[in-house]
Homo-oligomer: A and B are copies of this chain.
Amino acid sequence: MIRVALDAMGGDNAPQVEIEGVAQALRELPAGFRMQLVGRTADIEAALRSHADVDRKRLDIVEAPDVVGMGDKPLAAIRGKPKSSIVVGLTLQKKGESDAFISAGNTGAVMAASTLLLRLTPGVQRPAIGTMFPTAQQPVLVLDAGANVDCDARELVGFAHLGSVYARDVMGRPQPNVGLLNIGEEEEKGNAVVKEAYQLLRRSAGIHFLGNVEGRDIPAGEARGQPLDVVVCDGFVGNVVLKFYESAARVFVALMNRASPDILQRPEMAGVLKVLDYATYGGAPLLGVQGVSIICHGSSPARAIKNAIRVALKAVESHVTQDIGAEFAQGGAVA
């Protein structure tokens, strides 16, 4: 029985949206898991009252009276609010009483608390946020999406290993193709860090390296005629592109709806909507810590919470944490 802890106080519309997401997950996902709702018991109970369909035997409420705000400084929040839903939820996992943690709360606080409490996988220099980008083909995992603003070449190589294991275990890509995000295909392109990373990746055992890829290759989902599975970049570039994409998708949808309010409801538009809807993928794993920690948007709708639960279950079932441990223990990391 997999135990998934959810920060019930995390998102912009917590705990209502979180509870609705849990209700959807319990209804729609295969059984074999139970939920741990972490937060203010009274608020959670109140939100549960409008979900009579939820099987209370499949969930526990774990009291956490403190709430970390979206504007709180991460480290100060973790230290100053030890009874917050973020710290309490991750502590459950640290103590072996939970298998995964999901939060739509303060991203910086979730990252910091995950690193402090779960600890880095030995051999990992820095954890990375992996985000799924919808494409014209299969989705592509882009990492890092914001955990690290400055990265050296070895850290980028580490991200390639983290992403490759995640793509194999969770995304079902037996031999994931990895691209290095750059401003041109040729190996001499880019800044000093990506040039060095290119040379290191070319020689990395266990990485199926496609070479440099460009911004255009992400939405296309392929590079040089091969499907793209993992794209490696520093967290500055990854974060800018992620937020740009989400906003562009929102703008497209808003303009479409303004132009013709019924159009996106039509069945033939499903393929278009798929590319525009980040809620499909639910959450972004923090990779490189010894546990499962999934970060969701503050504005996640219930469906995104449900899908984050799905991702968390898949991560636990596939033993991605252990496989990352093995990858780095076997010298997967750059020595």
Contacts and interface: CB of A to CB of B under 8 A. Distances in A.
Contacts of A112: none
A72 interface: no
A218 B247 contact: yes
Interface stretch (A12-20, A44-52, A159-167, A236-244): A236-244
Contact of A150 (B135, B191, B255, B258): B191
Nearest to A250: B219
- Size range of the interface on A? 35 or more
Contact of A239 (B192, B215, B233): B215
A244 B259 contact: no
B244 A218 contact: yes
A256 B264 CA distance: 10
A189 B239 CA distance: 12
B183 A146 contact: yes
A275 B259 contact: no
Contacts of A215: 239-245, 247
Q: Is the interface of A mostly helix, strand, loop or mixed?
A: helix
B236 A135 contact: no
A157 to B, nearest CB: 18
A53 interface: no
Contacts of A219: 244, 247-248, 250-251
A57 interface: no
Nearest to A150: B191
Contacts of A263: 263
Interface string A268-305: 11111001100000000000000000000000000000
Closest 7 CB pairs of A and B: A215-B243, A215-B244, A216-B247, A215-B240, A219-B248, A216-B243, A183-B239
Interface of A: 135-136, 146, 149-150, 181, 183, 189-192, 214-220, 233, 235-237, 239-248, 250-252, 254-256, 258-260, 263, 266, 268-272, 275-276
Given A136-B251, A183-B236, 12 more contacts: A146-B183, A181-B240, A183-B235, A216-B247, A236-B237, A245-B248, A248-B248, A252-B272, A255-B272, A259-B266, A260-B266, A263-B263
